Amino acid sequence: MMSRSLFAIVLALVSTSAAAQEQGIPEQGRAYADKVCAECHLVTPEVGLSPMPGVKSFKEIANRPGMSAMALGAWMQSEHESMPHIVPAPDELNDVIAYIVSLKE
């Protein structure tokens, strides 16, 4: 219950700042993901398995119910026990989010 409340607060804060952010460039997000994220995630649009067992592909992430640029922004800016703490620059973050959103079917 507490984590839902915390997520709602983070989502509200990010949505306020997300409105002022420019939309990212998917091609640059793909290039960043190839360098930084591909060790664990399948970042290409093909259907397949990620290099690390049990880790969702970017396409799977994009197609989760309710997934949006705002939700991705909130999720990517919070720490996760199972993921390394990567802090992309704001433009890189926007680009990766734009790339993941572009994989939505």
Domain that holds residue 13: 2-102
Q: Average pLDDT, stretch 72-101? A: 91
Which pLDDT value is given to residue 5?
Answer: 54
DSSP the chain: -HHHHHHHHHHHHHHHHHTTSPP--HHHHHHHHHHHTTTTS--SSS----SSTTPPPHHHHHTSTT--HHHHHHHHTS--TTS------HHHHHHHHHHHHHT--
Q: Which of 6-15, 17-26, 29-38 has the highest mean pLDDT?
A: 29-38
pTM for the predicted model, two decimal places: 0.77
Number of domains in the chain: 1
